[in-house]
Structure 1
Amino acid sequence: MTNPQIIEACRKALTGFEKNDKTDLLNVLADDVVFEFSDSLPYGGTYNGKAEFQAFWKHVYQEYEYFNYDARAILEAEDYVIVPVIARAKTKRGFSMENEHLFLFRVRDGKIVYGRIYADTARGRDVLEGREPRRFPKLQLS
């Protein structure tokens, strides 16, 4: 393990659903971190620096009563830390979702310099628009 401090920060921030604590994760972000999330949701886009990273999360929590994660694994590969998670959220309108996300972090000199969330944004958009997440049946193959 080449980045134990970052691994532990990810574990604390992204494990245990309501136990998520992002304090240590904020401490391992580079001052000029770049963070991206799909702009198909109202809080998506590219965020530059720690202040914008924190503003992203503040905006997310304006839409939801809670939005928590539980990591399935925390993996290192070269300069990256990869964290597949289960996300559980409930909007302020009362719609819930359970979704799979993947956090991808790039590390340089012991700090996270880049992050991106890969997620099923269609499901998120459904609950934000005030409806249950749509699910479609598997295709019937001949």
Structure 2
Amino acid sequence: MDAERYAALKGQIDHLYSLTGTGQWDKVEALLTDDFKIVEAETLPFGGVYEGKGALQALFTKVFAFWEDPALDYKDIAISEDNIIVLLSFHATSRFNGERLEMPLCEVFHLRDGKFSGITPYYFDTAAICRATGTPVDR
């Protein structure tokens, strides 16, 4: 991949993170395909499949209801033709028990025709998230 395409895609992912972080959902939706899909691990308290242009907002609303002061620390990025892989560190305080959680997170963004067609997140320890949110680990 050439440096120009890499820079453009990195800028696109940075822009998406900025828009979601500030709740600019109309602008977020413009970056997504109509059939956009997020697949979260079923064992998470917010697990399942979220579909459509409103999927990110629906997921954010559900996820952040469990946390106070959530933050993502951007670590690294890898880009291929159809995917952007972002390595992050997730930090938040549980609204359930006050536990401060910090863990590695990898988000794979899927691309199609210049737009985001989906996201597949991979949390380092889903059981720790369940414990911090009061969700049974063995669901």
Give the TM-score band, short-chain normalised.
Answer: 0.7 to 0.9
* Alpha-carbon contact 1:106-1:113 (below 8 Å) kept: yes
- Match of 2:99, as an amino acid? F
Farther off after superposition, 27-36 or 104-113: 27-36
Q: Does 1:67 align with 2:70?
A: yes
Runs (5+) with no aligned partner, structure 2: none
> Kindly tell me: are residues 37 and 90 of structure 1, through their superposed partners in 2, closer, same or farther at Cα, counting changes over 3 Å?
same
Match of 1:96 in 2: 100
SS of the residue corresponding to residue 10 of structure 1 reads helix
> Structure 1: where are the runs of 5+ without partners?
131-142
Aligned length: 127
After superposition, where does 1:18-57 map in structure 2 within 5 Å? Answer: 20-21=21-22, 23=24, 25-57=28-60
Q: Secondary structure at the match of 1:56?
A: helix
Q: Deviations over 1:54-96 (max 9, x none)?
A: 1111011111113211111122112110001000011113111
Cross-structure match for 1:139 = none
Deviation, structure 1 residue 12 = 4.8
In 2, Cα distance between equivalents of 1:27 and 1:6: 16
Q: Say yes or no: does 1:127 pair with 2:137.
A: no
Report runs of 4+ in structure 1 exceeding 3 Å deviation: 3-6, 12-15, 20-27
- 2:84 aligned with 1:114: no
Aligned-pair Cα RMSD in Å: 2.4
Take 1:32 and 1:4, find their aligned partners in 2: how far apart are those partners? 26
CA contact (8 A) 1:9 1:22 kept: no
Change (3 A) 1:6 1:47: farther
Deviation at 1:4, TM superposition (A): 4.6
